[in-house]
Structure formats: C-alpha cells, structure tokens
Amino acid sequence: MVGMVKVGTSSAHESGLNHRAGIALPLLLALILGALSGLVLLPQAQHLRSLRDGVPAHATLHSGGTCVLGRCKVQFEVDGRTVVADLPAGSSGGKNPAGTRLTVRYRADDPQTVADENDVDGGAHMFMAAVVGGAALIFLALSARKAVSLARLKRKA
C-alpha cells in the first residue's frame, strides 16, 4: 500500500548502534567524571590542605568575581612589599566584593601560593571529589549493567 509506514521496526544495525550507545555514553560520562574527581578536585584539596601551616596574613580582596574559576586576586604585605596573588579555583572569596578584608595563608618561600584561611581544610573540595567520584561510579555501573544485559540478549538469540 502506498503511504503506509511501519512503526516500531528497525534494522539489526540500528539496534546494535543503540545498544553500543547505551554502553558507551554512561562509560564516557564515568571517565570524564572520574578524571575530574581524581585529576582536578582531589589535587586541589591536597593543595589547599598543604597551606594549613602557611603563614597567615591580613589581605584585601583585590578583584572579586568568579573565584570558582580562579579569577580572584588578593593583596597583602610580606616583609614590607605588596603582593598580589591569585586565590585558587573554587575559593570562597568570591562571595565578597572587591575591597573585603580577609585572612589568607601563604607559603613562606612563595607568597604567590595563597589560599583563603576558610578554605585550607580542603573539606569542600574533598566533598565535591566524593560526590563527583560517586557519580562516576554510578555511570560506570549503568554501563556495566547495560553490557551484561546485552550479553544476555545475545546469548538467548
């Protein structure tokens, strides 16, 4: 008949692509989230924790903005000279406008390595690493579940 369309049928090739996408997409998301957690968030938390014993200094937020992306600067005095340093990405300093006074900790041998004193415990970054890592594991489990399901279907066929 002319003008009739079959609905709900697909070729074996299209079905295979759907199954592969059902495995590959969660696997790709798991890899991306796992890399974000392990290669970005955990090292950032360790960096912040390394500044726990840093030298405290009273600083002024030189330029506010999106500290989440690492675009905040603080200005403080070290041995009579003015230092302008970047707060690390994810800093809590961005909640405040430029000119706000805050306490920072810096490395004695490198005043450019600085963090807001409220961030040096690294807790927020560790929490985010755990959440993102957990999401990576969920997507990995979804991908594995789909692969097992596909293997069972092939065995039955």
Q: What residues contact 107, with CB distance under 8 A and at least 6 apart?
A: 51, 54, 55, 113, 114
CA distance 59 to 105: 10
Residue carrying structure tokens 């609905």: 7
pLDDT tens, position by position, 112-143: 999 999 889 888 889 999 999 999 999 999 99
pLDDT tens, position by position, 6-31: 555 444 445 556 777 888 999 999 99
Residue carrying structure tokens 């696997």: 27
Which residue, 45, 41, 48, is CA-closest to 104? 48
Based on C-alpha coordinates, what's the Rg of the chain?
A: 25
Kindly tell me if the per-residue pLDDT of 37 is higher than 60. yes
* pLDDT value for 15: 56
**Residue 87 near residue 44 (C-beta atoms within 8 A):** no
* 53-120 CATH choice from 4.10.860, 3.40.50, 2.40.50, 2.60.40: 2.40.50
Residue carrying structure tokens 């805050």: 102
> pTM for the whole thing?
0.72
**Residue 74 near residue 62 (C-beta atoms within 8 A):** yes
- Class of residue 27 by CB neighbours under 10 A (exposed 0-12, middle 13-18, buried 19+): middle
Give the percent of the chain with pLDDT over 70: 82
* pLDDT value for 106: 95
* pLDDT value for 12: 47
* pLDDT value for 153: 84
